[in-house]
Amino acid sequence: MTKVPSLAEASITKRFISRWSERYDMLAGADDLSKEADLLNWLDSLGDARYLDKDHFVELCMWKSPRQKSRYESNGSPLVEKATRLAFDLDEEILKLYVLMALEGVGVPVASTILHFLQPEGFAIFDVRARGTLLGAGLWHRRKGDQSVAAWIEYLAIMRRLAVRHRVSLRSLDKALFAYDKWGG
């Protein structure tokens, strides 16, 4: 396991985000980036009606967390489409999350990932590595592994604040924080 260098809140700058986001793109692997791009292209082809069909749902869930594959696959196609459409259409963020968590195998991290792909400008991927970087910067005050709904709400506020402050996308910020924790310094 790589030791991550210490980091202060002031160290998370636009330059830091750009550098580490680029490092993510270099080190994550072509397959990972290709899956992400393919899914975004498919969603964009839907126009204003954003949802996941079962195949894309399973693929996205596996991209985030492959351990629950049989549970993801146990969800029926109509349920997946209805739940993801409803999550996209709802105004209340917490309800969006809970609707997605009603699907088999979907916890807070996977639900956040679905929300990110449905609405990239509004939702960050709730990731333990990103939380690790935030913890090191003094911005995260919970356990790194806390996957509770309350933790997601706090995380989302932190991520949105940083993205606005540095005028970067939530995904660029996600990538930078993940990369720093995984391949740090």
Amino acid at 123: F
**pTM, entire model:** 0.90
Cα 76 to its chain centre, rounded Å, is 24
- Average per-residue pLDDT for the chain: 92
Q: At 2, is the pLDDT very low, low, confident or very high (cuts 50, 70, 90)?
A: very low
**Token output for 62:** 């596996």
**pLDDT at residue 185 is higher than 70:** no
In the block, which residue shows the tokens 């660029």?
Answer: 172
Task: In whole angstroms, give the CA distance from residue 146 to residue 118.
Answer: 24
Q: What is the DSSP string of 54-109?
A: HHHHHHHHHHH-GGGHHHHHTS-HHHHHHHHHHHHH-S-HHHHHHHHHTSTT--HH
Query: What was the pLDDT predicted at 4?
Result: 47
Q: At 9, is the pLDDT very low, low, confident or very high (cuts 50, 70, 90)?
A: low
